[in-house]
Amino acid sequence: MSELSFEQMLEESLKTIRTGEIVTGKVIDVKEDEIVLNIGYKSDGIIPKNEYTNDSSVDLREAVKVGDEMEAKVIKVNDGEGQVALSYKRLAADRGNKRLEEAFNNQEVLTAKVAQVLDGGLSVVIDEARVFIPASLVSDTYEKDLSKYAGKEIEFVITEFNPRRRRIIGDRKQLMIARKAEMQKELFARIHPGDVVEGVIKNVTDFGAFIDLGGADGLLHISEMSWGRVENPKKVFKAGEKITVLIKDINGEKIALSLKFPEQNPWLNAASKYAAGTVVTGRVARMTDFGAFVELEPGVDALLHVSQISREHVDKPSDVLKIGQEIEARIVDFNEEDRKISLSMKALQNSREADEEAADEGNEEA
């Protein structure tokens, strides 16, 4: 009778537990695939590895030590082997869901590491609670390949919270849009036409390049890429390169950029370099029926009229000249106001022949 009473007293001294209850216990053993807890019950509690975490790479023996105190959620009072089946990750997920609900209600910005890159977006985990960020809400621009986000920490807000349907949606896009709007506001308050700023080449097209100025993009048109001519911007500029540019104009949210820095204008000292009578060397840049345009230096072209190519009759410049050909000629007219220079190969031929004849006469007299 006394033994029975003792067993009854022992039974009564042990706490009762129910499925779904949160219990606290002390770790008494850690195996490769499970954690054993003394939860003050007649049976020990068991946390299988897949109920501790969703991360299969975790080593339980590194994560948990004997003597640690842990909380867990009761899954089954009897797992079939007389032990209590427990889950740590479900308890963490419950708390994570509560944390996410608070963040959803307060529109709090959360930070978490990307756990998985899926076909339709990204999966992040906060306290074992999963958040799905659809591909359309990952960035403010379309991104076909999301693999670069694997393992990276990202910021987002919760825009939909429905744990019963396992639908917790995160949004990174709206944060990026808001930050860019703030950066844009700060940028436009800071810059003015005539300023020299640094940027990063974002995209290169046939007509120009878009430069990220840190808050807004500016357009560097092909006509503003050099004092000379640029035939193909893609051969000169590459996306990702840093570049220093001049702000030419600001019209609303449009920023026009230039690489034609005033102090580098080749016409600043053109009057002394290209005075009438000067013999110059240039490259044939383009041709028309009435003449050829010769580049003396980037930004300075001169006209070689068809009548000034040779002392012999020339129907079209293309009959005797080629694009890219280097020629020598004499400057016969310089108009600084209109930025026009006229050349003559014929005049140079005539003067050289006259010099040769004069030299021959001098030799005969001697």
Mean pLDDT, to the nearest integer, of 155-159?
A: 96
Residue 366 has pLDDT above 60, yes or no: no
| Secondary structure class of 50 (helix, strand, coil) | helix
CB 327 within 8 A of CB 284: yes
Residue 129 has pLDDT above 90, yes or no: no
Cα distances from 306 to residues 232, 296, 340, 347, in angstroms, run: 29, 18, 16, 13
Residue 364 CA to residue 277 CA, distance in Å, equals: 29
Give the domain-ending residue among 143, 176, 209. 176
- pLDDT, position 358: 59
Give the domain-ending residue among 229, 247, 263. 263
Residue 41 has pLDDT above 90, yes or no: no
CB 197 within 8 A of CB 244: yes
Lowest mean pLDDT among 50-64, 218-232, 326-340: 50-64
Residues 239 and 302 in one domain: no
- Whether 184 is in a domain gets the answer no
Assigned token pair, 221: 């048109």
- pLDDT, position 362: 58
Lowest mean pLDDT among 118-127, 176-185, 353-362: 353-362
- pLDDT, position 207: 94
Residues 255 and 271 in one domain: no
State the average pLDDT for the chain: 89
Assigned token pair, 210: 């878009």
Residue 205 CA to residue 183 CA, distance in Å, equals: 25
Q: Which residue has the higher pLDDT, 53 or 201?
A: 201
Share of the chain above pLDDT 90, in %: 67
Residues 257 and 271 in one domain: no
| Non-local CB neighbours of 116 within 8 Å, separated by 6+ positions | 122, 123, 150
Residue 70 CA to residue 54 CA, distance in Å, equals: 18
Residues 41 and 101 in one domain: no
- Whether 150 is in a domain gets the answer yes
Residue 95 has pLDDT above 90, yes or no: no
Residues 96 and 170 in one domain: yes
CATH number for the domain including 287? 2.40.50.140
Residues 347 and 272 in one domain: yes
**Interval 160-196: pLDDT, tens:** 998 888 899 999 999 999 999 999 999 999 999 999 9
Residues 271 and 259 in one domain: no
- pLDDT, position 291: 94
Residue 362 CA to residue 348 CA, distance in Å, equals: 21
Mean pLDDT, to the nearest integer, of 184-213?
A: 95
CB 38 within 8 A of CB 25: yes
Residue 15 has pLDDT above 90, yes or no: no
Helix (H) or strand (E) holding 199: strand 196-204
Length of the chain: 366
Residue 2's pLDDT band (cuts 50, 70, 90): very low
**Interval 243-278: pLDDT, tens:** 999 999 999 999 999 999 999 999 999 999 999 999
Mean pLDDT, to the nearest integer, of 66-93?
A: 87
CB 136 within 8 A of CB 169: no
CB 292 within 8 A of CB 286: yes
**Nearest Cα residue to 86 out of 164, 11, 24, 32:** 24
Assigned token pair, 5: 């009473």
Residue 99 CA to residue 110 CA, distance in Å, equals: 10
CB atoms < 10 A from the CB of 334, how many? 18
Domain limits at 97?
92-176
**Nearest Cα residue to 295 out of 306, 276, 282:** 282
- Whether 161 is in a domain gets the answer yes
- pLDDT, position 40: 86
Residue 6 has pLDDT above 70, yes or no: no
DSSP state of 322: -
Residues 246 and 313 in one domain: no
Q: Which residue has the higher pLDDT, 17 or 24?
A: 24
Residue 364 has pLDDT above 70, yes or no: no
Mean pLDDT, to the nearest integer, of 28-49?
A: 91
Cα distances from 170 to residues 17, 113, 150, 175, in angstroms, run: 36, 13, 16, 11
Residues 270 and 257 in one domain: no
Residues 167 and 100 in one domain: yes
Residues 252 and 299 in one domain: no
| Secondary structure class of 4 (helix, strand, coil) | helix
- Whether 366 is in a domain gets the answer no
H-helix segments, the chain = 2-13, 60-63, 89-106, 173-190, 270-273, 345-365
Quote the number of domains for the chain: 4
- Whether 363 is in a domain gets the answer no
- Whether 7 is in a domain gets the answer no
CB 195 within 8 A of CB 247: yes
- Whether 134 is in a domain gets the answer yes
**Nearest Cα residue to 134 out of 163, 159, 104, 98:** 159
Residue 195 CA to residue 199 CA, distance in Å, equals: 13
- Whether 97 is in a domain gets the answer yes
CB 256 within 8 A of CB 227: no
- pLDDT, position 58: 87
Give the domain-ending residue among 237, 263, 289. 263
Residue 7 has pLDDT above 70, yes or no: no
Residue 1's pLDDT band (cuts 50, 70, 90): very low
